[in-house]
Amino acid sequence: MSKLKISKNTIGISGEFYIAYILAKHGFQVNVSLGRTEGFDLFVKNPQGKNLTVSVKTTYSNKSNFFIMNKKAETLIEEDLFYAFVRLNMPNDEPEFWIIPSFVVAHVIKVAHEIHLKTPKKDGSAHKDTNFRLLRLQDNFKFPDDWEKQLEGFKSNVDSLR
């Protein structure tokens, strides 16, 4: 089956509603912002009554092992802000997700980007600084040695929001 033509906006909204569904089925109250807020996509009240915000990043393919983020994510460190990374695994497999606190995401993408800038390209030239950052779903020399193990703890883990 060939890859479906789906807009980036539709992919993003699909991830937001998928996470809203997952959280609601675990007893969370969830409101989707529908793009009306900057920096997060979901307003969440956990079963204990604590208010949280969740920024959802979504990718379409099961072959995609990274999420593109903005440089601002390096400094968005809030106790009540979490990221939900959704891999839809379209068109045939079930979605996967990882819920990661903002302080973990900020640290990992900042350090990884610093290493990226210090590491020369294959031709020996320097990488240029951009506003893009990558969060990878696999071990990478620019990420902590135990990154895949850390990710296992975040995978499908709605309890981190309790």
Q: Which two tokens stand for residue 120?
A: 């020369």
Q: What does pTM read for this prediction? A: 0.92
State the amino acid at position 130 in one-letter form. T
What is the model's pLDDT at position 124? Answer: 96
Q: Average pLDDT, whole number, for the chain?
A: 92
Rounded mean pLDDT, 85-99: 93
What is the model's pLDDT at position 126? Answer: 96
CB-based burial label for 141 (10 Å; 0-12, 13-18, 19+): exposed
Instruction: Say yes or no to pLDDT of 52 above 90.
Output: yes
135 strand-pairing partners: 67
Higher pLDDT, 26 or 92: 26
Rounded mean pLDDT, 2-23: 90
**Do residues 55 and 41 lie in contact, with contact meaning Cβ atoms separated by under 8 Å?**
yes
**Mapping DSSP to helix (H, G, I), strand (E, B) and coil, where does residue 8 land?**
helix
Unique residue bearing structure tokens 């440089």: 71
Structural domain boundaries of the chain?
Answer: 8-161
What is the model's pLDDT at position 2? Answer: 52
**Mapping DSSP to helix (H, G, I), strand (E, B) and coil, where does residue 133 land?**
strand
What is the model's pLDDT at position 142? Answer: 76
How far apart are the C-alpha atoms of 115 and 133, rounded to whole Å? 12
CATH number of 8-161: 3.40.1350
